[in-house]
Amino acid sequence: MTGGRVTGDVFSAARPRCTTTPSTRRPGPARDGEVPGDYIDRLMECFRPGEHFAAAESHLRESRLVLLRGGRHSGRRAASLALLRTLGVGSPRVLDPTVGLDDLLEQTEPAPGYVLWDPRPNLGREQLEARLLTLRGRLARDGGYLVITTETETGLSWTVDWAPPPQAELLTAHLRAALLRADQAALDRTAPGQAAPGLPTADQPGTDRTGPDHARAADQAGPGPGLARAGLVLAAGALLALPATVSFLDIPRTPREVAAYAQLLCRHALGEVTEEDLLRSDRAAVEEQVTSWFAEGGPDLREQSFLISLAVFDEAAYALAAEYGDVLHGLLHALEEPEHPAGTKVFGTSVKQRLAAARATLATVTETVAWGVQRRRTAAFDDPRTRSMLLGRVWLDHPSARPALLDWIHRLAADEDPAVRAHAAAATAVLAEADLPSVMPRLLEPWAASLQYRLRNQAVNSLALLALDTDSVFVPQILHEWCESPDDEIRWTGIRGHGLIGALFPEEALRDIGDLVARTVEEPALAGLQPEAEQQAAITSTCLLLLTTSRSQVLTRLASWLQPPGPRSVLAVSAFLAACYAPRATCPIRATGPHCCAGTPSAARPPRAVRRR
Amino acid sequence: MTTLAEAAEDQDRQHLADLWRAAFSSRPHTGTAGEVMCDWIRTAARDPLGEQHLADLLRRLAVTATERDRLSYLLRGLSRTAGRGPEPDRPLAEACLRLLTAADLPDPEAGTRY
């Protein structure tokens, strides 16, 4: 390679590419040189045109040049190759994206077709248009077609939006191709001397192919030799109907993921992987995605902060995730460069691109707020497992980020907006599930001991969500210890926690609360500085238990407290009368926030102020 | 979930009666207990099934003479207040009297009904 000019075919089949999935292990096109024809041949076996492909094709045919705009991992490069192939270009030349547009065609000898993948830097619209016109002139003179892929909006009429084909269609195509190949490979193995070109057909003379590899496929194909075409369709149909496949297709996937999954399905057909493996692979893919976001070469710190924020504000307003993402960015940046505070680029962020990169989607929801029905734009990860996986991975794999994360979560916990606090509580529950021993002293215990009601409440809500989401057996134990703490605030938090979570552990809750009120009377030294506040908390919690838990169980316990007269009987009567005031036909509890309440029984939501006397 | 007043299990109702009895006989709670009971009566007066439940509770609750007198006094008082004034609540006043009969409570002021 000299002087920026590529001569000859410098494509290297041995160049290692991304080796994460079986489908990408085979040699792919290199950055420059020619894309080999047989690579495109294989691509075309599985390629499906998608919605705007025909428009792009006619544009390219007429203008010799088209800009194909598509999101990251949307398969726009494969589309560029397929476009040229439909125009008869066997092996297009790959142009160096770092070379300026003026010199673009200087770098190579005339060829029937070129691809330019994601040129940098992005030029302004006028400059781009002028250069493209020049390019088009050259292409018209020398012959050749050029497809340029880009991620960003150009505003030029040359642009065609690339939309990937429906993923079920793409999966079917990949699966058929993979099954055919597997079938061919088996044919070649079992009959090495026999030339078996082309596809197996029903009338092909019988070769003995009843080996274990084919047992399953043969079931689908019937007694014929190997996978006849009809059998193949059947096998594909059965594989596509698997529950694992249905759940795989439930979530938007990149073409690369679809290809990898098709390979896996094919191996399942051959009996090499089980259905559990299929389900596990799906989870592993989420994990891999999350890991790559925070690995070297991932998105920049601001986008990483946004991802973490989106995990906390999943299914909440996009603006919340973005706003608090910038706050987190400031904190994380201060860890890296304490001398130079981070600036925030205020405008110019494309919501669509940002969410596409985060594998998330915008939705408009209507919800009833204090002032009536309102529409909001929410953002949520496509795969609901991303949220907890991301928070867990960041916490466990990147402890250097913890100081900033903790600072950030403390801020969220003290926020004026109850929705923000609710999401912070839910995120804390996820972190606690991942790593309780480190989350207790850093978040939950400081909140439980706080003089601020809001933070103590935050500890209670976080524990409640932990108990509900994970069936954590630790929660009643934690509350038990808090109820016995010498610290007034911690005891208060323990009592209130029992009220909120008691629906899950009513026996333990009543035992702890009863013991506590008895002890404060029997041993006044332990009563603390605010016995009234504690008594009130005990009444509120017991009242809540009576309203939200197995009623008979609580009534039985309260009735048993009536004799002998003492602190327990006073508590029983006070809590009973408070519960009697609960308004009819309405649940005496208040929602804490959209996410917190999703899927949680109403029993666990924090109480609306119960009318007391 | 139903309210406490609507509890249908026999054992639950007995426990409710026990707790009410304790509430009425506890000096710091008796005032609140009276107010809450009036609240239950007002609610039950709008709902025949609720009225049945309440009559059952009152029967369980009115055991000693003190208890019978207290509940009788409470029902009559509420009935009188409801029957008077510029906008009398006749249904409530009548429900109170029905409850008196249903729970077989004494009538210390017999013959002086409004």
- Report whether pLDDT(B93) > 90: no
Identify the CA nearest to A300 among candidates A333, A331, A327, A322: A333
| Contact (CB<8Å) A573/B39 | no
Q: Report the C-alpha gap between B97 and B85 in whole angstroms.
A: 18
pLDDT in tens, A444-476: 999 999 999 999 999 999 999 998 877 777 888
| Contact (CB<8Å) B36/A581 | yes
Count Cβ atoms below 10 Å from residue A243 Cβ, excluding itself.
Answer: 10
Q: Quick one: closest CA in B to A612, which residue?
A: B32
Q: With beta carbons under 8 A apart, name residues in chain A contacting B1.
A: 547-548, 551, 587
Q: With beta carbons under 8 A apart, name residues in chain A contacting B23.
A: 573, 576-577
pLDDT for the residue numbered A8: 39
Identify the CA nearest to B96 among candidates B45, B59, B60: B45
Q: Which residue in A542, A555, A571 has the most chain B C-beta atoms within 10 A of its own C-beta, making it the best mutation to test that interface?
A: A555
| Contact (CB<8Å) B4/A587 | no
- Residue numbers of B between 42 and 61 with CB closer than 8 Å to A: 43
The Cα of A413 is separated from the nearest Cα of chain B by a number of Å equal to: 32
Q: Report the C-alpha gap between A68 and A77 in whole angstroms.
A: 9
Cβ-based neighbours of A362, under 8 Å, separated by 6 or more = A318, A351, A352, A355, A377, A378, A379
% of chain B beyond a pLDDT of 70: 90
Confidence class of residue B110 from pLDDT cuts 50, 70 and 90?
Answer: low
What one-character-per-residue DSSP string does A280-306 give?
A: HHHHHHHHHHHHHHTSTTSS-HHHHHH
Q: Report the C-alpha gap between A555 and A561 in whole angstroms.
A: 10
* Any A CB within 8 A of B104 CB: no
| Contact (CB<8Å) A576/B23 | yes
pLDDT in tens, A503-541: 788 888 888 888 888 887 777 766 666 777 888 888 888
Q: Which residue in B10, B19, B39 has the most chain A C-beta atoms within 10 A of its own C-beta, making it the best mutation to test that interface?
A: B19
| Contact (CB<8Å) A576/B32 | no
Tell whether ipTM is more than 0.95. no
What's the alpha-carbon Rg for chain B, to the nearest Å?
A: 14
* Any A CB within 8 A of B39 CB: yes
Give the one of A562, A572, A584 whose C-beta lies nearest to B3's C-beta.
A584
| Contact (CB<8Å) B36/A577 | yes
Q: Quick one: closest CA in A to B16, which residue?
A: A555
- Spans in chain A with pLDDT lower than 70: 1-32, 107, 120-123, 191-230, 525-529, 582-613
| Contact (CB<8Å) A556/B15 | yes
pLDDT for the residue numbered A21: 36
Identify the CA nearest to A451 among candidates A483, A490, A482: A490
pLDDT for the residue numbered A334: 94
Identify the CA nearest to A102 among candidates A143, A66, A132: A132
- Report whether pLDDT(B102) > 60: yes
pLDDT for the residue numbered B107: 65
The Cα of B102 is separated from the nearest Cα of chain A by a number of Å equal to: 22
* Any A CB within 8 A of B25 CB: no
pLDDT for the residue numbered A604: 33
Q: Which residue in A539, A573, A587 has the most chain B C-beta atoms within 10 A of its own C-beta, making it the best mutation to test that interface?
A: A573
Q: Report the C-alpha gap between A542 and A546 in whole angstroms.
A: 6
The Cα of B61 is separated from the nearest Cα of chain A by a number of Å equal to: 14
pLDDT for the residue numbered A121: 61
Q: With beta carbons under 8 A apart, name residues in chain B contacting A558.
A: 15, 19
pLDDT for the residue numbered B82: 82
Q: Quick one: closest CA in A to B44, which residue?
A: A584
pLDDT for the residue numbered A527: 64
* Any A CB within 8 A of B63 CB: no
| Contact (CB<8Å) A559/B26 | no
* Any A CB within 8 A of B87 CB: no
* Any B CB within 8 A of A611 CB: no
pTM of the model: 0.70
Q: Report the C-alpha gap between A554 and B15 in whole angstroms.
A: 10
pLDDT for the residue numbered A592: 32
| Contact (CB<8Å) A577/B29 | yes
Q: Quick one: closest CA in A to B9, which residue?
A: A552
The SS3 assignment for A145 reads strand
pLDDT for the residue numbered B99: 85
How many CB contacts within 8 angstroms connect chain A with chain B? 63
Spatial strand order of the sheet with A159-161 comes to: A33-34, A93-95, A113-117, A145-150, A65-69, A159-161
Identify the H or E element spanning A329: helix A318-336
* Any B CB within 8 A of A550 CB: no
Cβ-based neighbours of B76, under 8 Å, separated by 6 or more = B96, B100, B109
| Contact (CB<8Å) B33/A577 | yes
* Any A CB within 8 A of B30 CB: no
Q: Report the C-alpha gap between A405 and A415 in whole angstroms.
A: 15
* Any B CB within 8 A of A586 CB: no
